């Protein structure tokens, strides 16, 4: 709409400017022709004055050549003036001007005829009585046309100015309407965007709440399964091993049954070790007993056997004292990061750094493999869970690319006032 209206206004202003230029040019050319006519009439008036001067040595008939020259120029000027006239004359005005010019030249012809016949005094009398009056009437008519031309020019200028003012007012009204429309649209969009943002924030809060509940439920489930494995199956397998040991003592030495019982006892012990390992993997009980750093030491000692990668571990800064809630989430982020190294990076070596300060606990897991920085926007459950755990602790999780290539996972969580030397 703005473009179309701008194009329309530009066309109108261009046409108006062109019309104004044409009118000004026509008016200037008409004024020049009227001045030319007036000059010719003045020359006729001067010639008639000289013709009436008794001191002139020339006869009146000698002035006919000058009259013919002025007549030709006057007729040409009248024709050109009629072509370029801005204000068209009425038929009565045209008839009056044409008849006045014709009567003037008819009278001048009669005067020159009298002069050629030797009646110069009568001819001079006709000049005084008739020709000068006609010349004066023509001069008055031309002067009136000049005044009319000036009035027409002033009227045209006023009309053009009125048109410019009207166009300007229309532009102002259009701009005002456009600004009002823009303001109204902007306010509507702002309110709509605020509603959408509020809805998105509400959905994000709900999603975060659901994610936190799922994480909490998962941890509770894993803790329960771990305890059941450790307590029920562990105790059952321990009892089986004890019973097998007592039974083997009752079997005579050298009996094949004694070897079978020993073999079954070893299998039971292996199952017990596996159950305890699974139990610790699901939810390490040492996390509650010995804390985060001891749990990390224990877990990293099992990584090579579990994933087939070597881990270099470095603890920096002060010793972190964190609650069980924070510890389990940091531990899960470490588990997921090392699992991603084993699954995706292709690296056979990883670097783990734990740094504690007065305000923050920072965990870094680095590898120099293929890297997943380009894919951190993917919606894998592991990455989503890592992000949600960081948000649950009020911390941040970053995926960076170290100078050597690969991936650097950095978790930073607040632990203000919970450090010890």
Are both 177 and 289 inside the same structural domain? Answer: no
pLDDT confidence of residue 293: 85
Are both 173 and 290 inside the same structural domain? Answer: no
Are both 158 and 298 inside the same structural domain? Answer: no
pLDDT confidence of residue 189: 94
Ranges of residues in the chain with a pLDDT under 70 are 54-56, 85-91, 93-94, 211-212, 219, 223, 226-234, 254, 258, 276-283, 372-380, 416-421
Identify whether 247 is part of a domain.
Answer: no
Task: Give the list of residues 6+ apart from residue 274 with CB closer than 8 angstroms, or none.
Answer: none
Last residue of a domain, one of 181, 203, 229: 181
Q: Give pLDDT tens digits for 264-312.
A: 777 877 777 777 666 666 667 777 777 888 888 888 888 888 888 899 9
Are both 42 and 172 inside the same structural domain? Answer: yes
Identify whether 201 is part of a domain.
Answer: no
pLDDT confidence of residue 376: 47
Cα distance between residue 124 and residue 290, in whole Å: 146
CATH of the domain at 150: 1.20.1420
Are both 293 and 405 inside the same structural domain? Answer: yes
Identify whether 175 is part of a domain.
Answer: yes
Q: Please, where are the H alpha helices in 53-131?
A: 64-84, 91-116, 120-126
pLDDT confidence of residue 374: 47
- Parallel/antiparallel/unpaired status of strands 419-420 and 319-320: antiparallel
What is the dihedral angle through the alpha carbons of 151, 156, 159, 164, rounded to the nearest 10 degrees? -140
DSSP assignment of 270-339 equals HHHHHHHHHHHHHS-THHHHT-HHHHHHHHHHHHHHHHS-EEEEEEEESEE---HHHHHHHHHHHHHHHH
pLDDT confidence of residue 421: 41
pLDDT confidence of residue 420: 47
Identify whether 318 is part of a domain.
Answer: yes
**Residue 305 in tokens:** 């056997």
348: three-class secondary structure by DSSP? coil
Q: Which domain holds residue 32?
A: 2-181
pLDDT confidence of residue 188: 94
- Number of folded domains in the chain? 2
Cβ-in-10-Å burial (0-12, 13-18, 19+) of 158 comes to exposed
Identify whether 14 is part of a domain.
Answer: yes
pLDDT confidence of residue 196: 93
Are both 169 and 291 inside the same structural domain? Answer: no
Are both 176 and 291 inside the same structural domain? Answer: no
Are both 130 and 12 inside the same structural domain? Answer: yes
Sheet with 360-367, edge to edge strand ranges: 310-317, 349-356, 360-367, 407-414, 396-400
pLDDT confidence of residue 281: 66
Identify whether 362 is part of a domain.
Answer: yes
Residue 413 has a CB neighbour count (10 Å cut-off) of 22
Last residue of a domain, one of 122, 155, 181: 181
pLDDT confidence of residue 180: 92
0.75 cut: is pTM over it? no
pLDDT confidence of residue 410: 92
Last residue of a domain, one of 146, 181, 216: 181
Q: What is the DSSP letter of 375?
A: G
CATH of the domain at 380: 3.30.565.10
Q: Give whole-number Cα distances, 11 to 5, 146, 334, in Å.
A: 10, 33, 71
Identify whether 81 is part of a domain.
Answer: yes
Identify whether 135 is part of a domain.
Answer: yes
Cα distance between residue 136 and residue 41, in whole Å: 8
């Amino acid at each position: 709409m703005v473009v179309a209206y701008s194009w329309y206004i530009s066309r109108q202003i261009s046409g108006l400017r062109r019309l104004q230029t044409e009118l000004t040019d026509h008016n200037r050319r008409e004024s020049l022709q009227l001045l030319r006519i007036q000059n010719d009439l003045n020359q006729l008036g001067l010639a008639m004055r000289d013709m009436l001067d008794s001191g002139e040595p020339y006869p009146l008939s000698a002035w006919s050549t000058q009259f013919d020259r002025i007549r030709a120029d006057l007729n040409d000027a009248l024709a050109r003036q009629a072509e370029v006239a801005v204000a068209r004359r009425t038929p009565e005005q045209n008839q009056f001007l044409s008849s006045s010019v014709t009567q003037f030249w008819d009278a001048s012809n009669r005067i020159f005829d009298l002069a050629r016949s030797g009646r110069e005094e009568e001819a001079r009398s006709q000049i005084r009585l008739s020709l000068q009056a006609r010349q004066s009437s023509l001069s008055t008519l031309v002067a009136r046309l000049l005044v009319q031309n000036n009035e027409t020019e002033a009227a045209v200028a006023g009309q053009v100015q009125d048109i410019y003012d009207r166009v300007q007012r229309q532009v102002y009204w259009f701009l005002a309407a456009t600004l009002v429309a823009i303001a109204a649209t902007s306010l509507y969009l702002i309110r709509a965007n605020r509603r959408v943002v509020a809805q998105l924030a509400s959905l994000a809060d709900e999603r975060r709440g659901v994610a936190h509940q799922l994480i909490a439920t998962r941890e509770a489930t894993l803790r329960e399964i771990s305890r059941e494995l450790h307590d029920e199956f562990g105790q059952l397998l321990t009892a089986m091993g004890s019973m097998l040991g007592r039974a083997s003592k009752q079997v005579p030495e050298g009996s094949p049954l004694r070897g079978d019982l020993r073999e079954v006892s070893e299998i039971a012990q292996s199952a017990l070790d596996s159950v305890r390992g699974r139990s610790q993997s699901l939810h390490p009980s040492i996390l509650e007993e010995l804390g985060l750093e001891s749990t990390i030491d224990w877990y990293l000692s099992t990584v090579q056997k579990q994933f087939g990668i070597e881990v270099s571990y470095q603890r920096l800064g002060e010793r972190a004292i964190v609650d069980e809630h924070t510890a389990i989430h940091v531990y899960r982020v470490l588990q997921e990061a090392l699992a991603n190294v084993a699954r995706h990076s292709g690296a056979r070596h990883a670097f783990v750094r734990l740094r504690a300060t007065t305000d923050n606990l920072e965990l870094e897991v680095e590898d120099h493999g293929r890297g997943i920085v380009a894919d951190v926007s993917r919606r894998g459950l592991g990455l989503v869970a890592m992000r949600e755990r960081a948000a649950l602790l009020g911390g941040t999780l970053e995926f960076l690319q170290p100078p050597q290539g690969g991936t650097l996972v950095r978790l930073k969580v607040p632990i203000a006032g919970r450090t010890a030397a």
